[in-house]
Every structure is written in C-alpha cells, then in structure tokens.
Structure 1
Amino acid sequence: MHEQILQLVSQAHALTEQGAAQETNQWERKKLVLADLSLHLVQTALRSGPLDARDLQQRLFAILTLADGLLPTVDLKLTAEVLFAASQPKPAASKS
C-alpha cells in the first residue's frame, strides 16, 4: 500500500511544484508551496526502512515556518524554533 500512496504523492508533488512555479498570486503560491512541503512529509513518513528523525524534523520545521504567516493568531515560528533547538546535538558534559 505504501508504494501506491508514494506514486500518487509523487504525481501530486509534480503538480504542486508546477502550480507554484506558474502562480502569480503570492498568497496562492505560498499555499501551493505548503502543500508541496506536506507531500514531502508524506514521502518521509512512508519511505521504507526506519523513520529518519532528522529528515522528519527538517520537514516539520519547514512546514511550521511557512505556515506561520498563514495562521496569524498562532506563533508557529516559535514552535519551529523550539523544534529546531531540540534537534541540535547536545554538548557533551565535561568530566571534572
């Protein structure tokens, strides 16, 4: 079932990229880019093998960052920054 979904997502991905490239209205272009990023998230989730946590974090960060302007009453940029900070390697504790 994953492969069938991924094939459809691949087609939708091509259409959203084409639509975004042709769209002259900035608001509509932003919505198409958000849809495109969401399709990348589906691809990440359904890829065979273990889920790549770093790839998932990057996809979510991009979606939250772009969606920030679409939801003016929610601070998604702050959420994206928290997600980014959580994904950074922690410094090794020094031994005393």
Structure 2
Amino acid sequence: MQDAILKLVHQAHALTETAAIEAVDSQERKKLILADLSLHLVQAALRHPQPQAAELRRYLFSVLTVCDGFVPDLDLKAMAEVLLPPPPASPSPPAQ
C-alpha cells in the first residue's frame, strides 16, 4: 500500500512543483510551495521502514515556516525555531 501512496504522491509532487514555478501570484505560489513541502513530508514518513528524524524535522520546520503567513495570529516561524532548532554546527578541524 505504501508504494501505491508514494507513487501518487510523486505524481502530485511533480504537478505542484510545476504549478509553483509557473505561478505568477505570490500568494498562490506560497500555497503551492506549502503543498509541495507537505508532500515531501508524506514521502519522508513512508519512504523508509523507519522515518528518519532529521528529514522529518527539516520538512516540519519548512512547513511551519511557510504556514506562518497563513496563520497570522500565531508566530509559527518563531515556534518552529524553538521546537525544531537547527543541529549545532560541527566543529571545524584544527588548522594545520
């Protein structure tokens, strides 16, 4: 069943990406980008036997950030930064 869902999501993803690229209206483009990110989240949930936490975090962060403009009474971008902070940067190797 997951393969069938992923196949449909792949088709929907291709359509939303194309529509977002072609969209002239910025609000319509933002809606399509939100749909595209949501489809990525579905793919991340179903692609592997166990969803990968880093991938889920990345898409959840992106969805919340894009949703920020659609839910004006909540600061979703700030919430995303608190709930899903970026991982700490890896220390760079010492200079030789």
Q: TM-score, normalised by structure 1?
A: 0.86
Residue deviations 1:56-84 (CA, integer Å, cap 9, x gap): 00000000011101110111011110123
Aligned length: 88
- Equivalence for 2:35: 35
2:10 maps to a residue whose letter is S
2:87 maps to a residue whose letter is Q
- Equivalence for 1:15: 15
Partners of 2:51 and 2:14 lie apart in 1 by 23
C-alpha RMSD of matched pairs (Å):
1.1
Residue deviations 1:7-38 (CA, integer Å, cap 9, x gap): 00000000000000101000000000000000
2:31 maps to a residue whose letter is K
Q: CA deviation at 1:49?
A: 2.0
2:26 maps to a residue whose letter is Q
- Equivalence for 1:45: 45
Gaps of 5+ in 2: 89-96
Partners of 1:71 and 1:48 lie apart in 2 by 31
Runs of 4+ residues over 4 Å off in structure 1: none
